[in-house]
Amino acid sequence: MSEQVEARLAQARAWLRQDPDAETRDELAGIITRASSGDAAAIADLDDRFGTRLAFGTAGLRGALGAGSNRMNRVLIAQAAAGFAAYLRAHVHGSAPTVVVGYDGRRNSRRFALDSAELFAGAGLRTILLPRLLPTPVLAFAVRHFGADAGVMVTASHNPPDDNGYKVYLGGVDGGSQIVSPGDIEIAAHIQSVADDSDVTSLPRSTTYETANEDVISAYIRETAALAPAPPSAKNLNWVYTAMHGVGWETFTRILREAGYPQPKTVGEQLSPDPRFPTVSFPNPEEPGAMDLAFAAATRARADFIIANDPDADRLAVAIPDDSVDGGWRRLSGNEVGLLLGARAARAAQGRPGASLACSLVSSPGLGAIAAHHGLDFHETLTGFKWISRAPGMVFGFEEALGYLVNPETVRDKDGISAAIAVLGLAAEAHERGDTLATLLTELGDTYGHFASGQVSVRVDDLSIISKIMLALRTLPPTRIGDTAIQSAEDLLQGSAGQPAGDVLRYRLADGSRVIVRPSGTEPKLKVYIDAQADSAEDARRAVADVETGVRALLEEHS
């Protein structure tokens, strides 16, 4: 047996000795036994599990459950919690740092949250554990509500069923936003130090953490309901809701009652938390098929619209009747919902000095047009709400991936529940004058210009394929996309004036279209975003379709 295999086996055995989880211990012991006998598949499996660590990056940690440093498990969580505690002790001066811990309904979420709470308390931090599984926005709210120095949410959001994650927020001057550089780099270094120097069984633990009472949830409900109290016409709204097997419904239904909205028809099969996500192949309302049960329920109810949250309820999807598409229902794009909510916020903020709208650079440029129309500032950021939430003077921010920040004074992150309340407010106001959400979309184009967006995504099993495509595009820069010449190209890898660096390529085409290429920060995908503006909605959609065809050909050429 080679020295490399022996070293990998020694690494795996050392991990096994400190693993407190019987399931992952048994899993790893079996792999070690097979690898020791020379099984090539088991040796390759060990290389995959221990050849690297899950990177602490865009949303903290996120990955598949299982044994090893490249998986989500109790050993990795213990290292992360101890490393994060060391970071907080080094950066928070005076009293002991305060950290809030929350969790959703995924496999092992509660166990990871309890481990974290015990380790934080053992490290001398004041630790507040939320009382039960809850939406991610409630944790983000709780960081500000308690004046905490940090927050941790155990969730993998809309990732596949076998994933979990560890999302980190910072309080204080960061205001409850997600971590950014250099904080993420420093936290990763502390975690690595723990992994290098400590057996997790020797890390101090304590059960002296606090468990929050219902007051924090009630406060979130009051603040969110106040965003858009129901007008009298709301009682006539007929709509459908799905929680996508996640944790959104319990909190959302209480907010509906508080705000005065009627209860929706619900997709019963998807209403309660279920970590198996049995009715969907992928628990993300953006994915094909994920909303099919909601479409069927809405058809039976002759509903006016559909609202869907993703499993941790930080994202929102909206669908409206549309006879021109199969099934009779069309899910609005994140850009369409973002512009509807952006216009709502802009009207409310007009005349307020310093007020701004913000979106990520891959989201619709239509938000900039709305800001200009109402005399507001506009900020375009790198992808992710860790950047959007820090835009100066922001009253509203969004990202095309169904994320909306509508209440920055209380939640400095995307929030699919508060966004849903804002959409209900728009729908009720439209209903009062005999209009619909579709009417509001038409009015958007007439008022601010007609924008259309599209996206091409390439999902891969091997992340090196994405790196290969990005390298090819940089090494042999394209001059055309389809039949349209590229007028200018920007590589944001080294950053630009006023913006941090990002692995992003941006092209502006001769017809005025914009194309942006970037790897996903949370999924094994390469994403290409296409935006166009035209004199009519139909012309804008046609321009996007033409560019999409050219993009697919370009990606095939470089794959």
Q: Which residues does 205 contact at the CB level (< 8 Å), separation at least 6?
A: 118, 119, 121, 122
Cα-based distances in Å from 77 to 120, 188, 202, 308: 12, 12, 14, 30
| Per annotation, catalytic residue among 116, 157, 356, 389 | 157
Question: 478 burial class (0-12, 13-18, 19+ CB within 10 angstroms)?
Answer: middle
Q: Output DSSP code: residue 232.
A: G
CA dist., res. 219 & res. 170, Å (int): 20
Q: Answer yes or no: 202 catalytic.
A: no
Report d(CA 52, CA 296) in Å as an integer.
44
How many Cα atoms within 13 Å fall on the side-chain side of residue 239? 28
Residues composing the chain: 559
In angstroms, the CA 156 to CA 106 distance is: 8
C-beta of residue 362 within 8 angstroms of C-beta of residue 527: yes
User: Who contacts 198 (Cβ-Cβ below 8 Å, separation ≥6)?
Assistant: 79, 82
Residue 235 per-residue DSSP state: G
Q: How far is CA 91 from the centre of its chain?
A: 27
Cβ atoms of 136 and 156 within 8 Å: the answer is: no
Rounded to whole angstroms, the Cα distance separating 521 from 544 reads: 24
Task: Give yes or no for a contact between 165 and 112, defined as CB atoms under 8 angstroms apart.
Answer: no
Q: How far is CA 95 from CA 21, 115, 147, 205, 275, in A?
A: 34, 23, 13, 20, 38
Report the alpha-carbon distance of residue 367 to residue 388 in Å, rounded: 13
Helix (H) and strand (E) counts for the chain? Answer: 17, 22
CB within 8 Å of 68: residues ≥ 6 apart: 12, 15, 28, 46, 48, 49, 50
Give catalytic residue positions: 157
